[in-house]
Structure 1
Amino acid sequence: MTNLIIRNAAVEDVDLIRDVYRRSSLTNEADHDLIAANPEWLVWDEALLPFADVAVVDGRIVGFATARPVDDFLELEDLFTDPDWMRQGVASALIAVIAQRGMRIEVSANLAKAFYESAGFVVIGFADSPGGPLVRMQREVSQP
Protein backbone atom coordinates (compact mmCIF):
# COMPACT_ATOMS: atom_id res chain seq x y z
CA MET A 1 0.00 0.00 0.00
CA THR A 2 2.03 2.90 -1.30
CA ASN A 3 -0.15 5.75 -0.04
CA LEU A 4 -0.19 4.58 3.59
CA ILE A 5 1.37 7.05 6.02
CA ILE A 6 1.98 6.30 9.68
CA ARG A 7 2.41 9.26 11.98
CA ASN A 8 2.10 10.20 15.63
CA ALA A 9 -1.49 10.73 16.68
CA ALA A 10 -2.60 14.27 17.48
CA VAL A 11 -5.35 15.68 19.68
CA GLU A 12 -7.50 16.37 16.62
CA ASP A 13 -7.39 12.62 15.81
CA VAL A 14 -9.08 11.48 19.04
CA ASP A 15 -12.65 11.35 17.69
CA LEU A 16 -11.54 9.43 14.60
CA ILE A 17 -9.45 7.03 16.69
CA ARG A 18 -12.45 6.42 18.93
CA ASP A 19 -14.60 5.72 15.86
CA VAL A 20 -12.13 3.16 14.46
CA TYR A 21 -11.78 1.60 17.93
CA ARG A 22 -15.55 1.26 18.37
CA ARG A 23 -16.33 -0.04 14.88
CA SER A 24 -13.39 -2.44 14.85
CA SER A 25 -14.29 -3.78 18.29
CA LEU A 26 -17.80 -4.56 17.09
CA THR A 27 -16.58 -6.75 14.20
CA ASN A 28 -16.03 -9.66 16.59
CA GLU A 29 -19.52 -11.06 17.12
CA ALA A 30 -18.27 -13.34 19.89
CA ASP A 31 -17.62 -10.24 22.03
CA HIS A 32 -21.05 -8.62 21.58
CA ASP A 33 -22.49 -9.95 24.86
CA LEU A 34 -19.42 -8.81 26.82
CA ILE A 35 -19.53 -5.40 25.18
CA ALA A 36 -23.26 -5.06 25.85
CA ALA A 37 -22.57 -5.78 29.54
CA ASN A 38 -19.59 -3.38 29.55
CA PRO A 39 -20.35 -0.51 27.11
CA GLU A 40 -17.47 1.51 28.57
CA TRP A 41 -15.15 -0.92 26.76
CA LEU A 42 -16.10 0.81 23.50
CA VAL A 43 -14.58 4.14 24.57
CA TRP A 44 -10.90 4.54 23.75
CA ASP A 45 -8.85 6.04 26.59
CA GLU A 46 -7.51 9.44 25.48
CA ALA A 47 -4.75 9.14 28.12
CA LEU A 48 -3.00 6.82 25.63
CA LEU A 49 -2.73 9.58 23.01
CA PRO A 50 0.98 10.28 23.67
CA PHE A 51 1.73 6.63 22.82
CA ALA A 52 -0.49 6.37 19.73
CA ASP A 53 0.36 6.18 16.05
CA VAL A 54 -2.24 6.44 13.31
CA ALA A 55 -2.26 4.87 9.85
CA VAL A 56 -3.58 7.31 7.26
CA VAL A 57 -4.60 6.75 3.64
CA ASP A 58 -5.62 9.76 1.55
CA GLY A 59 -6.19 11.81 4.71
CA ARG A 60 -8.39 9.15 6.36
CA ILE A 61 -7.39 7.34 9.56
CA VAL A 62 -7.64 3.63 8.70
CA GLY A 63 -6.01 2.22 11.83
CA PHE A 64 -4.05 2.98 14.95
CA ALA A 65 -1.82 1.42 17.57
CA THR A 66 -0.73 2.44 21.04
CA ALA A 67 2.52 1.13 22.48
CA ARG A 68 3.32 2.29 25.99
CA PRO A 69 6.80 1.90 27.53
CA VAL A 70 6.83 -0.46 30.54
CA ASP A 71 10.19 -1.25 32.14
CA ASP A 72 12.36 -2.55 29.26
CA PHE A 73 9.63 -3.25 26.70
CA LEU A 74 6.69 -1.68 24.89
CA GLU A 75 3.19 -2.83 25.88
CA LEU A 76 1.00 -2.92 22.78
CA GLU A 77 -2.23 -1.64 24.31
CA ASP A 78 -4.20 -1.22 21.10
CA LEU A 79 -3.98 -2.35 17.49
CA PHE A 80 -7.16 -1.59 15.57
CA THR A 81 -7.98 -1.31 11.88
CA ASP A 82 -11.02 0.31 10.32
CA PRO A 83 -13.28 -2.59 9.25
CA ASP A 84 -13.21 -1.34 5.63
CA TRP A 85 -9.40 -1.66 5.66
CA MET A 86 -8.92 -4.99 7.46
CA ARG A 87 -6.58 -7.54 5.85
CA GLN A 88 -4.85 -4.90 3.73
CA GLY A 89 -1.59 -4.60 5.67
CA VAL A 90 -2.50 -1.70 7.96
CA ALA A 91 -1.90 -3.56 11.24
CA SER A 92 1.33 -5.08 9.92
CA ALA A 93 2.59 -1.64 8.93
CA LEU A 94 1.79 -0.27 12.39
CA ILE A 95 3.68 -3.16 14.03
CA ALA A 96 6.66 -2.54 11.74
CA VAL A 97 6.83 1.12 12.79
CA ILE A 98 6.62 0.22 16.47
CA ALA A 99 9.36 -2.39 16.00
CA GLN A 100 11.67 0.35 14.69
CA ARG A 101 11.83 1.73 18.23
CA GLY A 102 14.25 -1.08 19.04
CA MET A 103 12.47 -2.51 22.09
CA ARG A 104 10.77 -5.82 22.77
CA ILE A 105 7.01 -5.60 22.21
CA GLU A 106 4.53 -7.47 24.41
CA VAL A 107 0.78 -7.89 23.96
CA SER A 108 -2.15 -9.74 25.49
CA ALA A 109 -3.93 -11.24 22.48
CA ASN A 110 -7.38 -12.63 21.98
CA LEU A 111 -8.63 -13.80 18.59
CA ALA A 112 -5.73 -12.01 16.89
CA LYS A 113 -3.20 -14.65 18.05
CA ALA A 114 -2.65 -15.94 14.50
CA PHE A 115 -2.04 -12.41 13.22
CA TYR A 116 0.51 -11.71 15.95
CA GLU A 117 2.31 -14.98 15.19
CA SER A 118 2.52 -13.95 11.53
CA ALA A 119 4.01 -10.63 12.70
CA GLY A 120 6.81 -12.39 14.62
CA PHE A 121 5.28 -12.68 18.09
CA VAL A 122 5.61 -15.85 20.18
CA VAL A 123 3.50 -17.06 23.07
CA ILE A 124 5.09 -16.52 26.49
CA GLY A 125 2.14 -17.30 28.77
CA PHE A 126 -1.37 -16.25 29.66
CA ALA A 127 -2.98 -13.20 31.25
CA ASP A 128 -6.29 -12.65 32.96
CA SER A 129 -8.61 -9.92 31.74
CA PRO A 130 -12.15 -8.81 32.58
CA GLY A 131 -13.26 -10.54 29.36
CA GLY A 132 -11.51 -13.82 30.16
CA PRO A 133 -8.04 -15.30 29.70
CA LEU A 134 -5.75 -13.94 27.00
CA VAL A 135 -2.60 -15.28 25.40
CA ARG A 136 0.48 -13.26 26.38
CA MET A 137 2.89 -12.78 23.47
CA GLN A 138 6.13 -10.96 22.72
CA ARG A 139 8.22 -9.96 19.75
CA GLU A 140 11.93 -9.51 20.27
CA VAL A 141 13.37 -6.58 18.39
CA SER A 142 17.06 -6.03 17.89
CA GLN A 143 18.50 -2.61 18.57
CA PRO A 144 18.89 -0.43 15.45
Structure 2
Amino acid sequence: MAGIKALIGDEVQDKSGKMCPVEEICAGKKAVGIYFSAHWCPPCRGFTPVLAEFYKENDGDCVIIFVSSDRDQASFDEYFGEMPWYALPFAKRDVKESVSQKYGVRGIPTLVVLRPDGTTIEENGRGSVANSNGKFPQNWC
Protein backbone atom coordinates (compact mmCIF):
# COMPACT_ATOMS: atom_id res chain seq x y z
CA MET A 1 0.00 0.00 0.00
CA ALA A 2 2.94 2.32 0.42
CA GLY A 3 2.90 2.94 -3.33
CA ILE A 4 -0.69 4.21 -3.46
CA LYS A 5 -0.27 6.14 -0.20
CA ALA A 6 2.88 7.78 -1.55
CA LEU A 7 0.95 8.74 -4.66
CA ILE A 8 -2.30 10.12 -3.22
CA GLY A 9 -1.82 10.33 0.53
CA ASP A 10 -3.06 8.41 3.56
CA GLU A 11 -6.78 8.95 3.05
CA VAL A 12 -9.49 9.38 0.44
CA GLN A 13 -13.12 10.25 0.93
CA ASP A 14 -16.15 8.04 0.58
CA LYS A 15 -19.64 9.00 -0.61
CA SER A 16 -20.59 10.48 2.76
CA GLY A 17 -17.46 12.65 2.90
CA LYS A 18 -15.88 10.43 5.55
CA MET A 19 -12.12 10.03 5.23
CA CYS A 20 -11.01 6.41 4.71
CA PRO A 21 -7.50 5.00 5.08
CA VAL A 22 -6.01 4.09 1.70
CA GLU A 23 -4.47 0.95 3.22
CA GLU A 24 -7.91 -0.33 4.22
CA ILE A 25 -9.68 0.32 0.93
CA CYS A 26 -6.84 -1.24 -1.09
CA ALA A 27 -6.35 -4.29 1.15
CA GLY A 28 -6.90 -7.53 -0.75
CA LYS A 29 -7.55 -5.83 -4.10
CA LYS A 30 -5.87 -6.89 -7.34
CA ALA A 31 -6.01 -3.42 -8.90
CA VAL A 32 -6.46 0.24 -8.00
CA GLY A 33 -7.93 2.52 -10.66
CA ILE A 34 -7.11 6.21 -10.54
CA TYR A 35 -9.94 7.81 -12.51
CA PHE A 36 -9.29 11.28 -13.94
CA SER A 37 -12.59 12.83 -14.97
CA ALA A 38 -14.80 15.93 -14.70
CA HIS A 39 -18.46 16.85 -14.66
CA TRP A 40 -18.10 19.30 -17.58
CA CYS A 41 -16.51 16.70 -19.91
CA PRO A 42 -18.98 14.95 -22.30
CA PRO A 43 -16.76 11.88 -22.92
CA CYS A 44 -16.37 11.52 -19.14
CA ARG A 45 -20.12 11.69 -18.63
CA GLY A 46 -20.41 8.87 -21.18
CA PHE A 47 -17.68 6.67 -19.68
CA THR A 48 -18.51 7.09 -15.99
CA PRO A 49 -21.68 4.91 -16.16
CA VAL A 50 -19.71 2.21 -18.02
CA LEU A 51 -17.01 2.31 -15.35
CA ALA A 52 -19.65 2.26 -12.59
CA GLU A 53 -21.20 -0.93 -13.99
CA PHE A 54 -17.75 -2.50 -14.30
CA TYR A 55 -16.95 -1.50 -10.72
CA LYS A 56 -20.19 -2.95 -9.35
CA GLU A 57 -19.35 -6.27 -11.04
CA ASN A 58 -15.73 -6.28 -9.86
CA ASP A 59 -15.47 -4.30 -6.60
CA GLY A 60 -14.11 -7.36 -4.82
CA ASP A 61 -11.09 -7.25 -7.12
CA CYS A 62 -10.53 -3.52 -7.53
CA VAL A 63 -11.01 -0.12 -6.01
CA ILE A 64 -11.39 3.14 -7.91
CA ILE A 65 -10.33 6.59 -6.74
CA PHE A 66 -11.77 9.58 -8.58
CA VAL A 67 -9.36 12.46 -9.22
CA SER A 68 -11.40 15.45 -10.30
CA SER A 69 -10.64 17.98 -13.00
CA ASP A 70 -13.78 19.90 -12.08
CA ARG A 71 -13.53 23.65 -11.76
CA ASP A 72 -15.16 24.02 -8.35
CA GLN A 73 -16.27 22.10 -5.27
CA ALA A 74 -19.98 22.20 -6.23
CA SER A 75 -19.32 20.54 -9.60
CA PHE A 76 -17.12 17.95 -7.90
CA ASP A 77 -19.81 17.21 -5.31
CA GLU A 78 -22.53 16.81 -7.93
CA TYR A 79 -20.45 14.54 -10.17
CA PHE A 80 -18.97 12.46 -7.34
CA GLY A 81 -22.54 11.94 -6.13
CA GLU A 82 -23.08 9.79 -9.24
CA MET A 83 -20.10 7.52 -8.53
CA PRO A 84 -20.01 4.34 -6.38
CA TRP A 85 -16.33 4.59 -5.35
CA TYR A 86 -13.87 6.85 -3.49
CA ALA A 87 -12.36 10.23 -4.33
CA LEU A 88 -9.32 12.31 -3.69
CA PRO A 89 -10.80 15.33 -1.88
CA PHE A 90 -11.31 18.24 -4.28
CA ALA A 91 -9.21 20.56 -2.10
CA LYS A 92 -6.09 18.45 -2.72
CA ARG A 93 -5.35 20.18 -6.03
CA ASP A 94 -1.58 19.84 -5.51
CA VAL A 95 -1.92 16.05 -5.28
CA LYS A 96 -4.17 16.03 -8.37
CA GLU A 97 -1.52 17.95 -10.33
CA SER A 98 1.28 15.72 -9.11
CA VAL A 99 -0.52 12.48 -10.01
CA SER A 100 -1.61 13.89 -13.39
CA GLN A 101 1.99 14.81 -14.20
CA LYS A 102 3.36 11.47 -13.04
CA TYR A 103 1.12 9.58 -15.49
CA GLY A 104 1.19 12.16 -18.27
CA VAL A 105 -2.56 12.72 -18.20
CA ARG A 106 -3.29 15.02 -21.13
CA GLY A 107 -6.98 14.37 -21.60
CA ILE A 108 -9.92 12.99 -19.73
CA PRO A 109 -11.38 10.54 -19.07
CA THR A 110 -8.26 8.60 -18.19
CA LEU A 111 -8.13 5.50 -16.02
CA VAL A 112 -4.67 4.62 -14.70
CA VAL A 113 -4.62 1.09 -13.29
CA LEU A 114 -2.09 0.20 -10.61
CA ARG A 115 -1.34 -2.68 -8.31
CA PRO A 116 -1.83 -1.84 -4.62
CA ASP A 117 1.97 -1.55 -4.29
CA GLY A 118 1.86 1.31 -6.83
CA THR A 119 3.32 -0.50 -9.84
CA THR A 120 1.62 0.34 -13.10
CA ILE A 121 -0.63 -2.18 -14.83
CA GLU A 122 -1.99 0.19 -17.50
CA GLU A 123 -1.68 3.94 -17.98
CA ASN A 124 -4.94 3.99 -19.91
CA GLY A 125 -7.30 1.28 -18.70
CA ARG A 126 -10.34 2.91 -20.28
CA GLY A 127 -10.18 0.61 -23.31
CA SER A 128 -9.82 -2.49 -21.12
CA VAL A 129 -12.95 -1.55 -19.19
CA ALA A 130 -14.92 -0.62 -22.31
CA ASN A 131 -14.03 -3.95 -23.95
CA SER A 132 -14.36 -6.13 -20.83
CA ASN A 133 -18.08 -7.01 -21.07
CA GLY A 134 -18.07 -6.51 -17.30
CA LYS A 135 -15.36 -9.11 -16.69
CA PHE A 136 -12.20 -8.32 -14.74
CA PRO A 137 -9.32 -8.04 -17.26
CA GLN A 138 -6.84 -10.90 -16.95
CA ASN A 139 -3.86 -8.56 -17.41
CA TRP A 140 -4.91 -6.75 -14.21
CA CYS A 141 -4.38 -9.86 -12.06
TM-score, normalised relative to structure 2: 0.28
Q: Which has the larger radius of gyration?
A: 1
Ranked by relative contact order (alpha carbons within 8 Å, sequence separation 6 or more), the top structure is 2
